[in-house]
Amino acid sequence: MTAMMNLPANVQFARLPTSYEAAKTALSNCASIDEVKDWADKAESLATYARMADDDTLRKLADRIQARAVRRCGELLRQLDARGGDQSKKEGAHHFGRYDAGHGAGMSDHQIKTAVRVSNVPVAEFEAAVESDNPPTVTTLADQGRMRREMPAMPEGFSRATALIGTVRRFSDFCKENSPEFVAGGVLPGEARELRDMVSLIDGWLDRFVVNMKEPV
């Protein structure tokens, strides 16, 4: 926990790259669900403090560390079968399962599912998102992992990108059927920040999507 404890509360005197790199290394080597959860909890608290102090630099640092801690937790949990069998052992061996391990570390069912879903996000996508100027929330990353896991296998001859066009079409249908004013009216105060992050991510994605589409010849 040394790297995490060395993260200063006031970023004015912080050597953030050094501290962050130390945190990344420590997390990648961590083999204890309890310890990784402690990292995630501390980073979440640090992010809350940063928002209260209007310290965006510290908030982004804490969000990145929290995302990495949750992902590492998910990686460790994925070694355990959700039904109780330890997948890291030879076939036929049965030990306590994924939910037993998570509960033992003080995690709720929702936290366990979230961690596993975040770990489902491909490494390249995760790194690009977390190291972006506006790192996504853990919930947003979990949604990415859930969609990735639930995506059906494509018939031969169909690319994954082609299949994803259906997602864009469904979102277009949603926009036609639901006014933004109506949807915004149902947003609770505690959900506003996360939704703004989602909209920002979607807005940037759509810009790149339009720019990279091939024009008809």
The more confident residue out of 88 and 75 is 75
pLDDT for residue 152 is more than 80: no
Distances (CA, A) of 128 to 4, 33, 141, 154: 22, 25, 12, 25
Average pLDDT on 142-166 reads 64
pLDDT in tens, 119-151: 999 888 899 999 999 899 999 999 888 876 555
Closest CA to 129 of 80, 64, 192: 64
pLDDT for residue 13 is more than 50: no
| Averaged confidence pLDDT in the chain | 79
Contacts of 114 (CB under 8 A, 6+ apart): 70, 74, 138, 139, 142
The more confident residue out of 137 and 169 is 137
Closest CA to 6 of 48, 65, 53, 55: 65
28-32, 105-109, 165-169: least confidently modelled range: 165-169
**Gap between the Cα atoms of 129 and 131, Å rounded:** 6
**Gap between the Cα atoms of 68 and 28, Å rounded:** 8
Contacts of 191 (CB under 8 A, 6+ apart): none
120 token code pair: 């489902």
Q: What is the pLDDT of residue 36?
A: 93
Q: What is the pLDDT of residue 161?
A: 62
Contacts of 52 (CB under 8 A, 6+ apart): none
Which residue do the tokens 């990735």 mark?
148
Please state the domain extents for the chain.
2-150, 154-217
CB-facing half-sphere around the CA of 94: CA atoms within 13 A: 4
